[in-house]
Amino acid sequence: MTLTTLFPQCQDLQTQVEAILQLLQQEPTLRSQQDGSVVQSSLRKAIAPTFEIVFAGAFSAGKSMLINALLERELLYSAEGHATGTECKIAFAKTGEERVVLTFLSEVEVREQVQALAQLIGQIAPMNINQPEALKQLQTMALSVIEQEGGKSKSKRAKDADALNLLLEGFTNNRDRISSVANATYSMEQFNFSNLKEAAGYARRGSNSAVLKRIEYYCYHPLLKDGNVIIDTPGIDAPVEKDAQLTYNKIENPDTSAVVCVLKPASAGEMTIEETELLERIRQNPSIRDRVFYIFNRIDETWYNAQLRQRLENLIYSDFQDTTRVYKTSGLLGFYGSQIKGTSGRDRFGLDSIFAESIKGFGGEEETPQFVYAFNNYCGSSRKLPIQFRVTINGFESPNQNYTRILADWGQPLVDQLIKDSGIEEFRNAITYYLTEEKRPQLFKNLADDLEDICIPLRKYYESIQIDLDSQPREIEAMKAQELQLLNQQLQEAGLEFRDHITEEINQIITNKCDSFEQDFKQLESRMVRRLDELLDCFSVKEAYSRATFNHPRNATAPLLAVLVEALYYLANQLEDILVESIKSVNAGFFRRLVEKVRKTEYYRKLNRLLGNDGGLEKRLKELEAEVNQALIAMAKTECDRYVRESPKFYDEGTFSIYQFRQTLLQTSSSYDVKAIVDAEPAIRQLLKLDFEPKVSKTIHQTFRQTVNQTLKTHLLPMTDIQADEIMQQYSQARVYLEKTLAQEAEEKIKNNAKSHWEVNQKINEYNQFVSEINSCLQSMQLFEHLLPTIADSGVSDEHFDF
């Protein structure tokens, strides 16, 4: 019976759960916090048609035997040593439809394994495994490796060589059954097996199992109903590494739903490293969760060994406190106990039927089956049997004789007691109860719990959106009023911030902290110095002389003094031009940078938001730039005008210049034509240089910088106060402007809110619909405690918003 026929309300569960996950996906903030994959995996488990129960544990722990005992039939091959070499699945079949399907490795897979194993033992495998000769050769090599190592299990290398040998043998024997790339499957009829047991015998660990990928038994057993699949695996510490890996892969597979750990400490005294690792790996698979059964098998061995018994009790007490699923079993006694129930004295209680094969010994001597030893031990020394069974073991009888005598004397009640002590029934009852009663509701409970972890945040999130939206429109009105109230204050603040900013900028200039300004001013200095040098270099006495005679039409000659005077005027005026030009560019640079900085300020942005413009700041700065420009030009002119006057030191007694002057005069007075003066040109140039250099130096290094600083300060600072005031005057314009924009903003926001509101309501409706559908499924499973939360109507309808 399928899930849907049992619980029709759960028919669309997958769609519904996926819809909830979809809602989660739509909310990026939640999506990053909640993991939908957990729900997905529990959903998969809940609706999966099959439920895979993997039996895992150390090799020879008794996994295969335990499964046989559980199903009360000899299905799987069980033996001493590494017995199971491939995955064995047991699934449900109706009576009369029992069958086996054997799946072989493909040729590609066989080749891969041959190559891997050959490499491990230091051999090179042929590329083409279809060359019988090459294979024979490789097999001979493998056998000689085993011999070299001194036996199959003497070393890792010997074990690998043995595995290779079996693989090659299996491949050769089953050559016609193996396809090149596909995994070929065969039914038991194709093998002429008459029952499942024969198939199991064929597949037991060895050369056949080496080339088998999987064997699937379909048999009738109530335990297998409802999609339960039992899987037997090779031991986790199997001597063949590949076989052990197969089990670990199975444990990590998402299809695995439960694990029966068949543990060996009852015979070994403690858990092996591999067993501990197995438990860890089980914990790491989210598909398994708490669906783990811990079986301490071979419990019979503790009956004869007090120390083993004690160690096992301690282990269970210390390490298995947090689980109730701990069972102590004897698969051997449980299984054969159930088998000999149908026997009697006529077939010597199974010796001539069930055990007929195993008692065949060499030379007519009868062998003792493993079970008979265990049975006799149980009867003789386990101290398990209640006192009414007065059983004696006679040393003069053979084990088989003791066995038949005891059973003839005590019969069925003793077998029942044996089965009871084997713990198998307890385990079978527990796992049956779990699989038929608990499994389904628990899978759904897990799903419900995982879903709840998503539903609660989702509900909270929707509700918070609703609350937020409901409070929004009022808030906008309030915000608008508040904003208008604050307007005056904000305008004032902007004005003050502007003033402070400009003051700070001026201060930077005055204290030489503005690098760009310093650079511009340096430029001015060097232009002045360069210009003076040029003027002196190109100074022409002839031209100065001609200007002097030109100014005095009645005279044909001019004194040296007149030439000097002309030179003073000329140099002073030329220097003035360059200073004016330079200070203009210093000024322009200063204002350009200032405007750029102003544009980046908070008050500039604020003004734009409040007024829709900058409140006249830039215009004011432009005007100021022109004013300051004029003032600086005037200053530059005054400065250079002073160059016309010779410096007082010019005539100082004992100075170099008066000496120079006298020398020049001596030179020029020798004749009255221009030639004498022209000859003195270098001397005159020297004189001018002596006079001008100190004057220009004083300008650029002392007076003019201070003049510039003062001019900037006196023009800019008073302006900022005026501007701040002017900004305040714009209150009414600002009010009109702001009201308009705020109204627009509010309108926009209300529109958006209406849309969001509609959207969230839509989502809530969807959410509620899916959740209530899921809830009705959970209710049909009696999971009333695990229903998911729905979202109540917020009471705010969409009509509140007209959009």
Note the residues at the interface with ligand GTP (CB under 6 A): 59-65, 78-80, 82-84, 234-235, 297-298, 300-301, 330-332, 370, 374
Instruction: Map tokens 């915000």 to a residue.
Output: 479
Nearer to Mg ion, 77 or 171 (CB): 77
Pairing of strands 87-92, 292-296: unpaired
Q: For residues 85 and 83, what is the distance between their CA atoms, to the nearest angstrom?
A: 6
- Tally the C-alpha atoms within 13 A of residue 421's C-alpha that lie toward its C-beta: 22
Nearer to ligand GTP, 79 or 478 (CB): 79
Q: Which of residues 92-111 bind Mg ion (CB under 5 A)?
A: none
Look at residue 350 and give the partner it binds from Mg ion, ligand GTP, none, a contact being a CB closer than 5 to 8 Å depending on partner kind.
none
Of the listed pieces 58-66, 116-124, 157-165, 722-730, which binds Mg ion according to CB under 5 A? 58-66
Look at residue 10 and give the partner it binds from Mg ion, ligand GTP, none, a contact being a CB closer than 5 to 8 Å depending on partner kind.
none
Look at residue 415 and give the partner it binds from ligand GTP, Mg ion, none, a contact being a CB closer than 5 to 8 Å depending on partner kind.
none
Q: Tokens standing for 75? A: 């299905």
The 64-93 contact track toward Mg ion, x by CB under 5 A, reads: x------------------xx---------
Contact 171, 92 (CB under 8 A): no
Q: For residues 412 and 410, what is the distance between their CA atoms, to the nearest angstrom?
A: 7
The amino acid that residue 277 corresponds to is E
Look at residue 446 and give the partner it binds from Mg ion, ligand GTP, none, a contact being a CB closer than 5 to 8 Å depending on partner kind.
none
- Residue ranges with strand state E in 235-389: 256-263, 292-296, 326-328
Nearer to ligand GTP, 235 or 350 (CB): 235
Nearer to ligand GTP, 160 or 300 (CB): 300
The amino acid that residue 777 corresponds to is C
Look at residue 331 and give the partner it binds from ligand GTP, Mg ion, none, a contact being a CB closer than 5 to 8 Å depending on partner kind.
ligand GTP
Look at residue 297 and give the partner it binds from Mg ion, ligand GTP, none, a contact being a CB closer than 5 to 8 Å depending on partner kind.
ligand GTP
Pairing of strands 228-232, 256-263: unpaired
Q: Tokens standing for 397? A: 């009888």
Q: For residues 218 and 101, what is the distance between their CA atoms, to the nearest angstrom?
A: 8
Smallest distance, ligand GTP to C-beta of residue 334, A: 7
The amino acid that residue 127 corresponds to is M
Burial zone of 253 (CB within 10 Å; 0-12 exposed, 13-18 middle, 19+ buried): middle
Smallest distance, Mg ion to C-beta of residue 196, A: 15
Task: For the beta carbon of residue 497, count every other beta carbon within 10 angstroms.
Answer: 17
Q: Tokens standing for 591? A: 């204002």
Nearer to ligand GTP, 61 or 724 (CB): 61
Smallest distance, Mg ion to C-beta of residue 83, A: 5
Look at residue 298 and give the partner it binds from ligand GTP, Mg ion, none, a contact being a CB closer than 5 to 8 Å depending on partner kind.
ligand GTP
Pairing of strands 212-219, 87-92: parallel
Look at residue 680 and give the partner it binds from ligand GTP, Mg ion, none, a contact being a CB closer than 5 to 8 Å depending on partner kind.
none
φ, ψ of residue 295 to 5 degrees: the values are: -115, 120
- Three-state DSSP class for 507? helix
648: Cβ contacts below 8 Å, ≥ 6 apart: none
Nearer to Mg ion, 149 or 237 (CB): 237
180: Cβ contacts below 8 Å, ≥ 6 apart: 106, 107, 108
Nearer to Mg ion, 61 or 494 (CB): 61
Nearer to ligand GTP, 60 or 629 (CB): 60
Nearer to ligand GTP, 329 or 720 (CB): 329
- Of 443, 445, 436, nearest to 1 by C-alpha is 436
Task: For the beta carbon of residue 416, count every other beta carbon within 10 angstroms.
Answer: 13
Look at residue 103 and give the partner it binds from ligand GTP, Mg ion, none, a contact being a CB closer than 5 to 8 Å depending on partner kind.
none
Smallest distance, ligand GTP to C-beta of residue 253, A: 18
Smallest distance, ligand GTP to C-beta of residue 338, A: 13
Q: For residues 494 and 654, what is the distance between their CA atoms, to the nearest angstrom?
A: 64
- Tally the C-alpha atoms within 13 A of residue 344's C-alpha that lie toward its C-beta: 1
Of the listed pieces 62-70, 108-116, 148-156, 259-267, which binds Mg ion according to CB under 5 A? 62-70
Smallest distance, Mg ion to C-beta of residue 456, A: 46
- Tally the C-alpha atoms within 13 A of residue 158's C-alpha that lie toward its C-beta: 10
Smallest distance, ligand GTP to C-beta of residue 63, A: 4
Cα–Cα–Cα angle for 51, 52, 53, rounded to 5 degrees:
120
Look at residue 421 and give the partner it binds from ligand GTP, Mg ion, none, a contact being a CB closer than 5 to 8 Å depending on partner kind.
none
Of the listed pieces 61-69, 130-138, 214-222, 334-342, which binds Mg ion according to CB under 5 A? 61-69
Smallest distance, ligand GTP to C-beta of residue 236, A: 8
In sequence order, which ranges of 320-398 are alpha helices (DSSP H)?
331-340, 370-381
Smallest distance, Mg ion to C-beta of residue 411, A: 32
Q: For residues 336 and 422, what is the distance between their CA atoms, to the nearest angstrom?
A: 10
Contact 427, 70 (CB under 8 A): yes
Smallest distance, ligand GTP to C-beta of residue 83, A: 4
Look at residue 80 and give the partner it binds from ligand GTP, Mg ion, none, a contact being a CB closer than 5 to 8 Å depending on partner kind.
ligand GTP
Contact 203, 121 (CB under 8 A): no
Smallest distance, ligand GTP to C-beta of residue 395, A: 22
Nearer to ligand GTP, 227 or 235 (CB): 235
Smallest distance, Mg ion to C-beta of residue 59, A: 7
Nearer to ligand GTP, 133 or 357 (CB): 357
Smallest distance, ligand GTP to C-beta of residue 217, A: 15
**# binding residues, Mg ion (CB under 5 A):** 4
Q: Which residues bind Mg ion (CB under 5 A)?
A: 63-64, 83-84
